Structure 1
Amino acid sequence: MTARRAGGFAYIAAIIFLVVLAGFALAVLRLSETEQVTVNQSFLGTRASLAARTGLEWAFYKLKAKDATCDTVKTVPDFRTDTGFTVNVGCATQTYDEGLGADGKTVKKVIFELTATACNGSVCPGTDADVANPDYVERKRTASICVASDGTDCY
């Protein structure tokens, strides 16, 4: 009677080891891809926030002119060519009479409530087609500024 050799266990262990190793490699690749998307979204979000701030700063500059109104900031310049983001600025006002100044004229103070929305879509706020894009970002910033009727700051 001849003895049979036992074998094949090493092959099964090697196949299981390779399958486990491939699973780890796939998990690392997925984590790397997710991290890249997260970094990209964070970068685009920061740029959108800065573009919205630029819209507010532009509106502040325009509203410092004497007798400025919300119509002054309705036409926003094309920020898209410079920043890659479309910026819309909304404006609302509240006017207050502050009595008479030293020259005897009525002093009026106007508080401008500004809202700047920046997005990398075709229009802001984004359309359904824009929002479906995985790289779409939109940021909104609000601020207010008080301007006296003579164009000076309010105190």
Structure 2
Amino acid sequence: MRPIRQQGFAYIAAIVLLVVAAGLTAAMLRLTSTQQSTVNQALLGARASLAARSGVEWMIYQIVNDGKTACPDSTTLSDFHGETGFRVQVSCSSRAFNEGESAPGVAVEKHIYQIDAVACNGAAASCPDDAAVSSPDYVERKRRATICMTKDGKDCY
């Protein structure tokens, strides 16, 4: 009688090696997908931040060149949507103060303007878009600026 030699170890090792290689491949694909999504979100966030900043600058331009003491009406700047895909909602509030005197008995009237701009890439007509918040590509950024101007249009000191 001859002893029977055991065979088949190479098949088991090959299957284990294939399973490990498939697992590593799946992990690398998932990591690549996550990295691509992170880069996309960072880019959209930077673009939204710049769109909100341009909304603040637009409102400052309206205030400085208008010559009035009241804030312009809140508005949605939809011109950006065609170019960048972002809508910008801009609002303003103001308060008037008398501070010091420019001449004896003549108070210096100062106006403090607070400007808020919200930029988002949702489908709604204005920002923020509550319905699109759960979307993976939705981005929203808010900028706020405060400026002080005297009644004659000069900067406050």
TM above 0.5:
yes
Q: Report SS of the residue matched to 1:67.
A: coil
> Does the aligned pair in 2 maintain the 1:59–1:73 contact within 8 Å?
no
TM-score, structure 1 length as denominator? 0.90
> Does the aligned pair in 1 maintain the 2:52–2:119 contact within 8 Å?
yes
In structure 1, distance between residues paired with 2:70 and 2:104:
24
> Does the aligned pair in 1 maintain the 2:76–2:87 contact within 8 Å?
no
Deviations 1:5-51 (A, max 9, x none): 21000100010011001000000000000000000000000000000
Q: Look up the match of 1:125.
A: 128
Runs of 5+ in structure 1 lacking a partner? none
1:138 partner amino acid: E
In structure 2, distance between residues paired with 1:82 and 1:93:
31
**How much has 1:61 moved relative to structure 2?**
0.7
Q: Look up the match of 2:144.
A: 142
TM-score, structure 2 length as denominator? 0.89
In the superposition, relative to structure 1, how do residues 64 and 46 fare at CA in structure 2: closer, same or farther (>3 Å)?
same
- Greater displacement, 88-97 / 112-121: 88-97
Q: Look up the match of 1:75.
A: 75
> Does the aligned pair in 2 maintain the 1:67–1:150 contact within 8 Å?
no
1:137 partner amino acid: V
**How much has 1:151 moved relative to structure 2?**
1.1
Identity over aligned pairs, percent: 51
> Does the aligned pair in 1 maintain the 2:75–2:91 contact within 8 Å?
no
In structure 1, distance between residues paired with 2:111 and 2:63:
10
In structure 2, distance between residues paired with 1:76 and 1:150:
28
In structure 2, distance between residues paired with 1:127 and 1:74:
19
**How much has 1:90 moved relative to structure 2?**
1.8
> Does the aligned pair in 2 maintain the 1:109–1:146 contact within 8 Å?
yes
* Residue 40 (structure 2) pairs with residue 40 (structure 1): yes
Q: Report SS of the residue matched to 2:6.
A: coil
| Count, aligned residues | 153
In the superposition, relative to structure 1, how do residues 76 and 131 fare at CA in structure 2: closer, same or farther (>3 Å)?
closer
In structure 2, distance between residues paired with 1:151 and 1:103:
21
